[in-house]
Amino acid sequence: MSEATGGIHMEEGGGGKIKKFLYLNRKAPYGTIYALESLEVVLIAAAFDQDVSLAFIDDGVYQIVKGQHTKGIDVKNFSPTFRALEGYDIEKLYVEKESMEARSLKETDFLVPVKVVNAAEMADIMQSQDVVLSF
């Protein structure tokens, strides 16, 4: 994903302001590119020293399930990248309980540690942000 870093200007990074950024993921991977390109933004965002959270609701929860093998569709499997987020100090990953359960998923099905929250808690998380990016 190194191509995504082109043109980044750290010194213009916002003059010390720290904002709360939420990356809201509501779409499944592979059928469309949104999940992958959202993750590319998150990786860049890590360099800006902002307060970053990721939320997975609706079909977005499918992005982080274990066992993704994409060789057969000839598309890059980007799911291991979620495991790298910790190295970028991005540790606030929230999964909505209702979305997870509606898809017969459990916390142990995910390839990264997540915090499972209910819809009301998720609404509070959204409300507390300065910037919400949804792709």
Contact residues toward another protein (CB under 8 A) are: 1, 3-10, 12-14, 17, 19, 21, 24, 26, 33-34, 37, 40-41, 44-45, 47-48, 50, 57-58, 98, 119, 122-124, 126-127, 129-135
Q: Which is nearer to another protein, 110 or 135 (CB)?
A: 135
**Residue 119 CB, nearest distance to another protein (Å)?**
5
Q: Which is nearer to another protein, 111 or 133 (CB)?
A: 133
Strands of 51-56's sheet, edge to edge? Answer: 115-117, 92-96, 51-56, 20-25, 131-134
Q: Which is nearer to another protein, 66 or 123 (CB)?
A: 123
What is the CB neighbour count within 10 angstroms for residue 3? 6
Q: How far apart are CA 72 and CA 126, in angstroms?
A: 37
**Residue 23 CB, nearest distance to another protein (Å)?**
11
Q: How far apart are CA 98 and CA 132, in angstroms?
A: 21
* Radius of gyration in angstroms for the set of CA atoms belonging to the chain, rounded to a whole number: 15
